Structure 1
Amino acid sequence: MVVVLAGIWALLLGIVLIMLGNGMHFTLIGLRGGIEGFSSVALAVITSGYFLGFLSGARLTPVMIRRVGHVRVFAALGSFMSAALIAFPLLTEPWAWTLLRVLVGFCMSGVYVAAESWLNAASTNETRGKVLSAYMIAQTLGIIGAQGLLTLGDAAGPALFIGASILVSISFAPILLSVMPAPVAEVARPMSLRALLSASPLGTVGIFLLGGAYATQSGMSAVFGTQIGMSASQIALFVATLFAGALVLQYPIGWLSDRIDRRKLILGAALAGAAACLRGWMAGDGMAPLLTAAFLAGGVTTPLYALFLAYTNDALSVEDMPAASGGLVFTFGLGAIVGPMVTGWAMEGLGPTAFWPVLAAFFAAIAGYALYRLMQGTRPRPEQTDSYLGVLPTASPVAVEAAGAWAAERAATDREN
């Protein structure tokens, strides 16, 4: 593992710094939006803007890279993102923030495509699993660490936004100054929604619903915390706990995934997420039960994303996996656009604690559909399925396709042995 990390340390360091800046900005939107008096609906639209930009960036960045080159696109997107982060405290209007969030989402998606293309080119079939795991850990640690940085300043001023911009700006130095050759970004054309539904109804419907749950957690949790009267440090801890749960529960759920029917595991994880959200709803403003609910709800979200990817690949040939991965990422993005809107309207009409029932409804819908599919027939035995690999919902199609290819190769090798 040390040898593997030695070849990609610059890229991983850059990713940690990027996630520190992006993670700060995600929570800052909720904090500063509350200070500015933005409504829940306005903040929901702002949150959805990020995922609209992210979805667009995943589709357009490979085209841009082929036209003007990897390094130029990477540097340009970083510059735009850094400028956008500084502009937030200068343009404190919902319409302006929505446009800026679309821009940040577009740039962030493009940065992921570029970075993950580098990462994929720097790994071999033997090292790809370890490289992708290190990459996902670096992303999660960056998001968690960002919440700690929020306690060092006042969200009412510009300092934290400037700090996030600085982190994003310097994150590109270790990557662009490294000696890694610039690869070509190759992303398969996404499979159509109709074809995805035909191949894997549960994977398609489930990942759409999960997109709504993930975007609600990552984008509206700070809004919820602000509206129930949490302090800035408590909100930072609350958001960090969501992602800490994902870091802790990823491995045990992944271990189970290759040993039991994935539909049963999806059902169980979704039910656990729904129960955790109901616990959070009943907790009121008690910090300890809220953190417990956040740990469990956040803890099952990221593993569910990887489960849906692996489950869908089980029903496909190796040749169809890249296109299916792109289609699933797109479907997840559509859910991520819709989720905050639904949550924002519910919180506006029913109060901030509606955050939990809406989140529970997403998980319950996943569980209900998983149960329905479980009753429809048999699936391949666990030993006939492709290997699970933890992929974060923030990953671009490049990393998702690479993970799918690695899992398929590993499964084929295991069956031969």
Structure 2
Amino acid sequence: MIQVLSSAWALLFGMCLLMVGNGMQGTLLGIRGQIEGFDTLMMSIVMSAYFVGFLGGSRLAPVMIQRVGHVRVFAALASLISAVMILYPTFPNIILWTIGRVLIGFCFSAVYVTAESWLNNAADNSNRGKALSLYMIVQTLGIVIAQALLLTADPSGFVLFVIPSILVSVAITPILLSISPTPAFGTTKPMSLRQLVGFSPLGAVGMFILGGIFSAQFGMSSVYGAEAGLSVAQISTFVATFFVGSVVLQYPIGWLSDRMDRRFLIIIVSLIGAAGSIMGMLLGHVFVLLLIAAFVIGGMANPLYSLLIAHTNDFLEHDDMAAASGGLLFLNGLGAILGPVITGWMMGTSLGPGGFYLFTAILFVLMVLYAAYRATRREGVSVDETGSYVPIAPTATSVAIGFAQEYIIESENEAAEEEEKAAENV
């Protein structure tokens, strides 16, 4: 861990600042939208726009990097992020906000691709797993810190928009000054969706469903808080709790994942997530119970991302893993685009703010039902033959997933070599 920090501390620090900026603007827009008089459906479109841009960025970023290089892409798009954040309070218009969110999503996706390429280049198999864990922790920590910074000024003013803009601008400096080699960057032709569904129907369908859950959590939780009449301090605590749960429960779920049938674990995790959603819907008027519900949902939804990737990899040859990651991300992105819009529509009905939790409850139940159905269709992979679970944040791009898969493959090859040596010694 110390070795990873010493070699990549500037990159990780810069990414933390970028995540603070991203976390602040996402939550702040949900609060500011109510102040500006935008209704729930309008705000759901604004929030969904981020994921439209993110999906587009994940597709186009590799092309941009190959044309002009990592450094130029990173610096240009980070600067654009900083500028867009200032434009939000200057022009409080729903159309301009939507366009701004598309741009922000696109830029952050490309920035993540670039940073993850650098991180992968700086790591080797002896510390790759630790580097991935640190990267996920740094991302989550940045979002949690962002919620605390929301308490430093009035959300109806400019200051809270200026802070993330400055942080994003500052984040560029340590990263660009510390990166010496430009990492090699290659693209992999994605596997067709039909092939992906054939290899792992649960992985494909589960990623689509999970996209809706995560985008509701990441995009609409602040809108929910504003509609429910929570104070700014309560909203920031509420949003942060989702991500605290994701870090705290990621590793226990990962430990179980390597020791039991992953489909059964997906069912258990989804059932707990559904229970947390129902608690939030029925008892959300009690703030402590609202936080418990958020902790449970975040703690179940985020590890499900890594769990579904691990489950899919169990049915793939090593050479197919990188190709499958593109399809998984695309399906997750489609679900993420639809999530905020459907959530906003449900919250705009007679359900009110409770529609937020009803939506996540329905998706968790769908995950349970489909995982249970798939368990009846074919035999599970033996625990001894499953690949390793590697924690990956749902905000990660195909580079981070490929990074994780590379670690899994190298670890499995090393384990096989050790078994061969042990057999020879016997």
Give TM-score scaled by structure 2 length.
Answer: 0.96
Cα distance in structure 1, aligned partners of 2:403 and 2:309:
12
The aligned residue for residue 40 of structure 1 is 40
- Residue type of the partner of 1:274? A
Cα distance in structure 1, aligned partners of 2:39 and 2:69:
41
Q: How does 1:192-203 map to 2 (within 5 A)?
A: 192-203=192-203
The aligned residue for residue 365 of structure 1 is 366
Distance of aligned partners of 1:90 and 1:10 in 2 relative to their CA distance in 1, 3 Å threshold: same
Deviation of 1:349 (Å):
1.2
Query: Are residue 258 (structure 1) and residue 268 (structure 2) matched?
Result: no
- Identity in percent: 52
- Residue type of the partner of 1:107? C
The aligned residue for residue 294 of structure 2 is 294
Q: How does 1:170-181 map to 2 (within 5 A)?
A: 170-181=170-181
The aligned residue for residue 98 of structure 1 is 98
Cα distance in structure 1, aligned partners of 2:79 and 2:284:
42
Deviation of 1:415 (Å):
4.2
Query: Are residue 273 (structure 1) and residue 273 (structure 2) matched?
Result: yes
Cα distance in structure 2, aligned partners of 1:137 and 1:252:
15
Give TM-score scaled by structure 1 length.
Answer: 0.99
What is the CA deviation profile of residues 60-83 of structure 1, one whole-angstrom value per residue up to 9, with x for unaligned ones?
A: 111111111111111000011100
Aligned with 2:274: secondary structure? helix
What is the CA deviation profile of residues 264-323 of structure 1, one whole-angstrom value per residue up to 9, with x for unaligned ones?
A: 000000010000000001113210000000000010111100001010010000000001
Cα distance in structure 1, aligned partners of 2:46 and 2:8:
34
Aligned with 1:395: secondary structure? coil
Q: How does 1:22-101 map to 2 (within 5 A)?
A: 22-101=22-101
Deviation of 1:358 (Å):
0.7
- Residue type of the partner of 1:340? P
Unaligned runs of 5+ in 1: none
The aligned residue for residue 424 of structure 2 is none
Q: How does 1:105-124 map to 2 (within 5 A)?
A: 105-124=105-124
Q: Is the 8 A contact 1:241 1:294 kept in 2?
A: yes
Aligned with 1:349: secondary structure? coil
Cα distance in structure 1, aligned partners of 2:325 and 2:384:
22
Cα distance in structure 1, aligned partners of 2:188 and 2:165:
32
Deviation of 1:181 (Å):
1.1
Q: How does 1:15-414 map to 2 (within 5 A)?
A: 15-350=15-350, 351-414=352-415
Unaligned runs of 5+ in 2: 420-426
Deviation of 1:103 (Å):
0.1
CA RMSD across the alignment: 0.9
Cα distance in structure 2, aligned partners of 1:32 and 1:185:
39
Q: Is the 8 A contact 1:16 1:142 kept in 2?
A: yes
Paired residues, number: 417
Deviation of 1:42 (Å):
0.7
Deviation of 1:29 (Å):
1.1
Deviation of 1:142 (Å):
0.5
Q: Is the 8 A contact 1:385 1:411 kept in 2?
A: no
Aligned with 1:177: secondary structure? helix
Q: Is the 8 A contact 1:204 1:331 kept in 2?
A: yes
What is the CA deviation profile of residues 34-92 of structure 1, one whole-angstrom value per residue up to 9, with x for unaligned ones?
A: 11111111111111100000001111111111111111111000011100011000111
Q: Which runs of 4+ in 1 moved over 2 A?
A: 184-187, 411-417
Cα distance in structure 2, aligned partners of 1:268 and 1:36:
41
Aligned with 2:156: secondary structure? coil
Aligned with 2:349: secondary structure? helix
Deviation of 1:179 (Å):
4.1
Q: Is the 8 A contact 1:57 1:106 kept in 2?
A: yes
Deviation of 1:352 (Å):
1.3
- Residue type of the partner of 1:60? L
- Residue type of the partner of 1:387? S
- Residue type of the partner of 2:367? I
Aligned with 1:92: secondary structure? coil
What is the CA deviation profile of residues 225-273 of structure 1, one whole-angstrom value per residue up to 9, with x for unaligned ones?
A: 1011100000000000000000000000000000000000000000100
Cα distance in structure 2, aligned partners of 1:328 and 1:412:
24
Cα distance in structure 1, aligned partners of 2:269 and 2:179:
42
- Residue type of the partner of 1:215? S
The aligned residue for residue 423 of structure 2 is none
Distance of aligned partners of 1:214 and 1:179 in 2 relative to their CA distance in 1, 3 Å threshold: closer
